A = this chain, B = another copy of it.
Amino acid sequence: MIKIAILGYGIVGSGVAEVIRMNQDALKKQTKTGIDIKKILDLREFPEDPFADRLTKNADEIMDDPEISVVVETIGGAKIAFDLTKRALAAGKHVVTSNKELVATHGPELMDLAVSNQVSYLFEASVGGGIPIIRPLHKCLAANVILEISGILNGTTNYILTRMEHAGIDFETALKEAQAHGYAEQNPTADVAGIDACRKIAILGSIATGEYIDSRQIHTEGITDVTTADMAYARALHAKVKLLGSFKRQDGKQYNLIVAPMLVPSNQPLTAADDVFNAIQVTGNALGTAMFYGRGAGKLPTASAVVADVIECAMHLGKQPHMALWEDHGNQNILAHDEAAVSALIRLSPAIDQNSVEKLFSNVGIEWLEPVMPEEIACIVGQNSDQALTEGQLSQRLAQLGESVISRMRIYTKS
């Protein structure tokens, strides 16, 4: 019997216990011996819980117990979870987590600590909930140079954008709906500001390159400024507005990463992901493009990914598993945002002199749209030209146009 402990008995932590209880026969078959939850750390009381007898408020009972070989960290955040993860790894215990913030913030340090203690630090559940993506990227696509990863990585924002598109409601109304359904938290900032998606694309990029990509260095825009007018333009352009996290390998040593709402052409398979679903598209130089699709969050899906990692640890007890390791090059590996290529939809006041706009963008391609919204004109820039438009140039030129600019939204282009 593999003895494990769960740190943090919230949604995912209690889901882990539920999956282990629900599928104990299957887990016994997989691991030969089965998985036993010996301790659960939480400061709260759960008197009615089937695992009430395993609960403790004292981490020492876990860290000092040599029988416990795998620790599941489902506390979240990068403070207590960080300390306890370090303690567990230092105590020679494998650690499995769904905590994207911790992996994105302290991944390299924790991986080093794991290696020096001959244990694993696994985090399949940190991206895509139950959708297998970390291990496929790390193992199945190992023979590829990964050229691009683009994905709808956050279910909350995808639900909001889908509702705005389908029901014609505005952001605030859709957010309230999402909160009423339990799809958005009362403080939804990490989701709607794109921070969650940003951590996830940083983790995926790090896996793809073997280099630590610091999420705090990635240009990130959320969806709070997306309007019903944007949805109208999306329809007119046969596209959908999606919050994308994107990693693109450039020539040279730097990677191009961004998180922002973008217009994604409807013929892209990514757009199959509506509501709370996630979809992640990976392009390798041998593979071509593959896509992974499913529920990116939720108690049992996420828990099932955690438990899969526990099984992986259990199969490698006493052996060093083939886990991800990220070299830390000190934040020099992300292309400066201003230098990244971009194409965008620009909405303008009809009072503007169209000739001056054309002159500004003629070298990078400009195409005027048929009217979509009253009292504005709109064009697409940065497409259909040999010369690239950079983010820096776009910002600068929009600044020149001043208050005539109503908004700009990026258009997703597959590399």
Contact = CB atoms under 8 A, between A and B. Distances in A.
Interface of A: 15, 19-20, 22-23, 26-27, 29-30, 124, 130-132, 135-136, 139-145, 210, 269, 272, 284-295, 298, 300-301, 303-308, 310-312, 315-316, 319, 322
Given A136-B132, A315-B322, A286 B23 contact: yes
Nearest to A140: B132
A291 B281 CA distance: 12
Given A210-B29, A298-B288, A308 B142 contact: yes
A143 B311 contact: yes
B295 A292 contact: no
B143 A304 contact: yes
Contacts of A308: 139-143
Contact of A292 (B19, B139, B292): B292
A149 to B, nearest CB: 14
B303 A286 contact: yes
21 contacts: A15-B286, A19-B143, A22-B285, A23-B144, A23-B145, A26-B144, A132-B290, A135-B136, A139-B311, A142-B308, A143-B306, A143-B307, A143-B308, A143-B310, A144-B304, A288-B298, A289-B294, A290-B292, A291-B294, A292-B293, A293-B293
4 A-B pairs with the lowest CB-CB distances in the bound complex, closest first: A132-B140, A290-B294, A143-B307, A286-B304
Contact of A304 (B124, B284, B293, B319): B284
A292 B128 CA distance: 13
A22 to B, nearest CB: 7
A316 B322 CA distance: 9
A23 B144 CA distance: 7
Contacts of A298: 288
Contact of A294 (B20, B288, B322): B288
A285 B300 CA distance: 9
B141 A135 contact: no
Contact of A139 (B27, B145, B312): B312
A287 B293 contact: no
A173 B376 CA distance: 49
Contact of A143 (B27, B136, B139, B294): B27
Given A132-B141, A142-B308, A291-B294, 14 more contacts: A15-B286, A19-B143, A130-B284, A131-B290, A132-B132, A132-B140, A135-B136, A136-B136, A136-B140, A140-B305, A269-B272, A286-B307, A288-B294, A288-B298
Nearest to A130: B287
Name which of A30, A135, A287, A308 has the most chain B CB atoms within 10 A of its CB.
A287
A22 B141 contact: no
A290 B131 CA distance: 6
Contacts of A30: 142
A14 to B, nearest CB: 13
A312 to B, nearest CB: 7
Contacts of A29: 210
A290 B127 CA distance: 14
**Which of A295, A300, A308 gathers most chain B CB within 10 Å?**
A308
